[in-house]
Structure 1
Amino acid sequence: MSNPAASDTADQAVVIGASVAGLLTASVLSAHFDRVLVVDRDLLPSTPEPRSMVQQEHHVHLLLQRGKLIIEGLLPGLMEDLEREGALVADLCLDVKCHHAGRWKRRWHSGITAHYCSRTLLEHVLRRRVSRIENVRIAAATDVEGLIFDETNRRVVGVNARERNNTLREIRAALVVDAGGRGSKAEQWLAGVGYGAVEREQIVTHLGYVSGIFEPPEGFRADWQVLLCLPKLPAQKQMAVVSPIEHGRWMVTAGAWFGQQPNPDLTDFHDYLAKLPIPDLSEAVRSARLIGALKRYRMPGGLRRRFDAMADWPESFLAIGDAVCSINPIYSQGMSASALQVDAIRPHLHRVKGRRDACRELQAAICQSVEHPWQQAAAVERRFEGVGDRPSLSDRLRFAYFDRLLVASAVNRKAAIALLRVNNLMAGPETLLGAGMMLRALLAPVGARFSQHLGETL
């Protein structure tokens, strides 16, 4: 990874942050600019090692089907690269043994798959691939301290960046994209030159996760590749997952809303798993060997910055990724939401150089592209008492319907795959409202024997 030189080029794009969002953005910008410079404050190891400034990478991550298809379209062969490095491909219905809301879900071949590996490996493979693009450079240990505006404050013309040796440089650019994550300073930078406050949507549920990498017991055999326990919301608030990662290991994450996660202590971790509604996770993990230390990650909740609602927007500047929308990691939407944002602007980037309001329009497209995953997560978490406005009658009816549909998905293949498609951002929630799906929801609570018959025939 190279260090940036001061540049006054008129055809350089600068991306703040070598995150998934930042790297994907750099890949699409490379077709429109002579040079693309990605700057990141971290050291960016050349091997698959955890980054010191990315705490959430120590926990289970999942790239949803829609995100996977977008990334593969941008960087063909990336999924094969992951497989060569040890990622395991699993069918998200057939290979996942899931206990959800008090019942085991039946398992069928769905054709909806995921590449299971650590976030560390995924970012390493993605960073390696993007760094090989001829006109892209990645500068490590470089912290962006602010935007450089022109004399009118109407256009961003570069960034002030501090390098590892404490040298502060001006890096000029025709476009600056902030992919600096949830901790983005874009709000402060824009407010500092008169653009006003940014509207925020927040869902405060005090999320917490504790995770560890485990070596399975020697000779361990199971009829699952992924083992998952999800709560019946809003009464239950704890979940856990055993997820395969590279080199035949497991990553085990135990998480909860409102601070009910375990402490990063192995005894407490095992006690937490033992108190889940099923013994399966506890039995599997208790006989496994912890590699390294347990890691904790906490966040207040979901955060969406409505840059699209601002009265004004500077030219030659965009914000993307978690800087725009940060969702509870339990829904595995973060990386795919970033891919959706990049995909939303990719066909329109040629307009950046020629149209005055191009960045304002692109920023609106970025913000709108995450409407589905944001609302999907928000609808679940607003069921908790005291989170958001009190549910209306229509809200309560909708909750009741989706609860019934969830029951149906445990025994009915079509309902299971329909929900899986929505959860993987392959279809909108309106696809769950057809007459056939409503019939399945209506018949969901029938006796176990009849439910099993429905699972084969409906």
Structure 2
Amino acid sequence: MTLNNKAIIIGGGISGKLVARVLSDFYKEVIILERDHEPVGPSPRKGAPQGEHLHALLHAGEYGLEELFPGITEDFYGGGAVKINSTLDLSWFHHGVWKLRYDGKYSTTLQTRPHLEWHIEQYIKKIPNVIFQYNQIVQDFLFNEAKNRIIGVQLKDKSLKADLVVDASGVSSLSSSWLDKRQMAVPTEKVDINLSYISKQFQLSGKKDRGWKIKLVYPNPPHEKIGGTISKVEDNRYIVTLMGYHNAVNDNAVLKSDESFVELARKLPKQDIYQEIENATPLSKTSIYRVPHIIWRRFDKLENLPSGLLLIGDTFCRIDPVFGQGMSIAVLETLALKKLLQKHHRELDKVPTAFHKKAGKIIGPIWNMVITEDFRYSETRGKKPVGLSIQQWYAKKIFLLSSQNQYVYDSFIKVMNLVRPITSLMKPSIIKSVLIYAFSRK
């Protein structure tokens, strides 16, 4: 295989690291430009303020990560991550009912984001042609106007040329502002959700068998707007993340004291999380992360996008984090990129355009599924999907059936974890169960 000379990745977060892994097989040199300091351990970093909050890899994300980094799952466990039975160790209150608990033979890994990201970075550092450059802020692209091609990046004190530039820097990316300045309007889908994420780590009291490793208490929209999750992570710690849609949480008030955080947990639809932390020992400060809107920049529809530029991760689409899909989408995008690189390895210039179209197909059904739920609140603003009321009605019946019908819930688990398409919930047997449930309730 003929290797191209150099690829540059803007952003050393999870998406940037994943891309570096696949590009290392097709480029002689891969440079990751990261604005943060080099980490000395698995700790939150300034460039990822969301890192102190609960994160999850869905099944599709876990399987894909293991494909990209063979053996990394066992490394997670060796570092203290918690392996659980996905349907037995999960206690989930959703839309006013508790989901069934049974042994579905699925496993999930519970860990903090810094722990996950640290292990990926250690793996990447073993790849000889991947180079991290820390404390680097990209100020501009190097652009060949005549060829409409990105040919590198401009840093504060130097310029770097490359055959490919990947922007994995996140929602406030250089690419978006740079394209706007050049009047290359990117078609954009944006939905206002005004979400607040509030997290804190605890040492729980007692040694009782709680019967769960992770517990989710979701709001039942449209009247309930506050939910929360408590999850076991490394070193027998528990991370509690509370969230509120449409400014339902007074951010300043909850930051006042540890007690304020606990009192917010009391407002959840169920008291389970509050009862666990009311006498627990706080291990961290209270952290807040705000998501005023989710956004999907349709680079797949921009016809005059400069060649030599590839967008991935939150740079392409920031999804509602409540559904825990962001990291898994990045993994699926990276696996798609790997296949395209293999297909076009002799003509790598074809890859960015083909990738953006493929990424759009990955994001599309997930975006639609997420905003169908976000639009249960009347305050949500944005473009509504076609057939919204029907989708919401059907999804609600699936959620409620998941408390009593194991087949329906198992099918939903596969869709939620991105291992089956949402169309799998339209099988005749499931439609029949939904209709029987709906009319029997009437």
The TM-score range, normalised by the shorter chain, is over 0.9
Change over 3 Å in CA distance of 1:246–1:447 after alignment to 2? farther
Q: Distance in 2 between matches of 1:256 and 1:116?
A: 22
1:40-96 C-alpha deviation (Å, 9 max, x unpaired): 101131211110221101110000000111111111111111010011011221101
Query: Does residue 1:104 correspond to 2:91, yes or no?
Result: no
| Cα distance in 2 between the residues matched to 1:83 and 1:357 | 39
Q: Are residues 355 and 120 of structure 1, via their aligned partners in 2, closer, same or farther at CA, if it must alter by over 3 Å?
A: closer
SS of corresponding position for 1:384 = coil
Question: Is 1:368 paired with 2:361?
Answer: yes
For 1:363-442, list aligned pairs within 5 A. Answer: 363-388=356-381, 394-442=387-435
Q: Give 1:389 deviation, angstroms.
A: 6.6
Matching residue within 308, 328, 353 for 1:316? 308
CA distance in 2, matches of 1:390, 1:32: 39
2:151 alignment partner, SS class: strand
Q: CA deviation at 1:127?
A: 0.8
Task: Please state how far the C-alpha of 1:359 moved relative to its aligned partner.
Answer: 2.3
Asked if the contact 2:340–2:354 (Cα under 8 Å) also holds between the matched residues in 1, the reply is no
Matches within 5 A, 1:238-387: 238-261=226-249, 263-264=254-255, 265-350=257-342, 351=344, 354=347, 357-387=350-380
1:196 is matched with which residue? 184
328-337 vs 146-155, which moves further: 146-155
Query: Aligned AA for 1:85?
Result: G
The AA in structure 1 aligned to 2:172 is: G
Residues 208, 298 of structure 1: 8 Å contact kept = yes
2:169 paired residue number:
180
2:32 alignment partner in structure 1? 38
**In the alignment, what sits opposite 1:137?**
131
CA-based RMSD of the aligned residues comes to: 2.1
Structure 2 unmatched ranges of 5 or more: none
Relative to structure 1, the CA distance from residue 230 to residue 188 in structure 2 (aligned partners, 3 Å threshold; closer, same or farther) is: same
TM-score, length of structure 1 as denominator length = 0.90
Counterparts of 1:443 and 1:406, CA distance in 2 = 15
Looking at structure 1, the residues matched to 30 and 386 of structure 2 have their Cα atoms a distance apart, in angstroms, of: 51
Q: Aligned in 2, Cα 1:261/1:386: closer, same or farther, shift over 3 Å?
A: closer
2-side partners of 1:353 and 1:120: how far apart? 37
Q: Which stretch of structure 1 is more off in the superposition, 76-85 or 92-101?
A: 92-101
- C-alpha change, 1:393 and 1:57, in structure 2 (3 Å) is closer
1:392 to partner: Cα distance: 8.9
Aligned counterparts of 1:447 and 1:433: Cα–Cα separation in 2: 20
Question: CA contact under 8 A between 1:17 and 1:178: conserved in structure 2?
Answer: yes
- Residue 209 of structure 1 pairs with residue 197 of structure 2: yes
Q: 1:73 to 1:382 in 2, by over 3 A?
A: same
Q: Secondary structure at the match of 2:138?
A: strand
1:62 paired residue among 28, 53, 56? 56
Aligned pair in 2 of structure 1 residues 388, 353: CA closer, same or farther (>3 Å)?
farther
- Taking a change above 3 Å as real, the CA distance of residues 366 and 330 of structure 1, as seen in their structure-2 partners, is same
Alignment-derived partner of residue 5 in structure 1:
none
Change (3 A) 1:130 1:393: closer
Q: Return closer, same or farther for 1:366/1:401 CA change in 2, 3 Å cut-off.
A: closer
1:87 match? 81
Deviation track 1:181-216 (CA, whole Å, cap 9, x = no partner) reads: 111120222344x46111111110100011001111
Q: Which residue of 2 aligns with 1:233?
A: 221
Give the drift of 1:180: 0.3
1:11 paired residue number: 5
The DSSP-based 3-state class of the residue aligned with 2:194 is: strand
Equivalent residue letter for 2:9: V
Whether contact under 8 Å (2:202, 2:283) holds in the other structure is: yes
Which of 205-214 and 310-319 deviates more?
310-319
Contact 2:401 2:434 in 1 (8 A): yes
The 1-side partners of 2:75 and 2:359 are apart by 28
The offset of 1:390, in angstroms, is 8.8
Shift of 1:23: 0.3
Segment drifting more, 214-223 vs 289-298:
214-223
Amino acid in structure 1 at the alignment position of 2:69: L
Q: In 1, are the aligned partners of 2:224 and 2:269 still within 8 Å (CA)?
A: no
Distance in 1 of aligned mates of 2:358 and 2:45: 30
Contact 1:228 1:241 in 2 (8 A): yes
Contact 1:110 1:417 in 2 (8 A): yes
Does structure 2 retain, via aligned residues, the 8 Å contact 1:314–1:359?
A: no
1:161 aligned to which of 144, 155, 163: 155
Q: Is the 8 A contact 1:407 1:445 kept in 2?
A: no
Distance 1:209 1:131 in 2: 32
CA distance in structure 2 between the partners assigned to 1:343 and 1:395 by the alignment: 31
- Are 2:202 and 2:239, in contact at CA under 8 Å, matched by a contact in 1? yes
SS in 1 for 2:285: strand
Distance 1:304 1:22, change over 3 A: same
* 1:295 alignment partner AA: S
Which position in structure 2 is the counterpart of 1:3?
Answer: none
How far has the Cα of 1:353 moved from its partner?
A: 6.0
8 Å CA contact 2:246–2:379 kept in 1: the answer is no
Q: Residues 312 and 333 of structure 2 are in contact (CA less than 8 Å); yes or no, is this contact kept in structure 1?
A: yes
Write the letter of the residue equivalent to 1:311.
Answer: E
Partner SS for 2:300: helix
* From 124, 127, 133, the counterpart of 2:121: 127
Q: Which residue of 2 aligns with 1:22?
A: 16
Q: Structure 1: 5+ residue runs without aligned partners?
A: 1-8, 163-167, 449-458
CA shift digits 1:294-343 (9 cap, x unpaired): 10111112111111111212121101110001011100001001111111
Other structure's SS at 1:11 match: strand
* 1:114 is aligned to 2:102: no
Aligned residue identity for 1:297: Y
| Structure 1 counterpart of 2:340, one-letter code | H
Identity among equivalent positions (%) equals: 26
- Looking at structure 1, the residues matched to 20 and 217 of structure 2 have their Cα atoms a distance apart, in angstroms, of 37
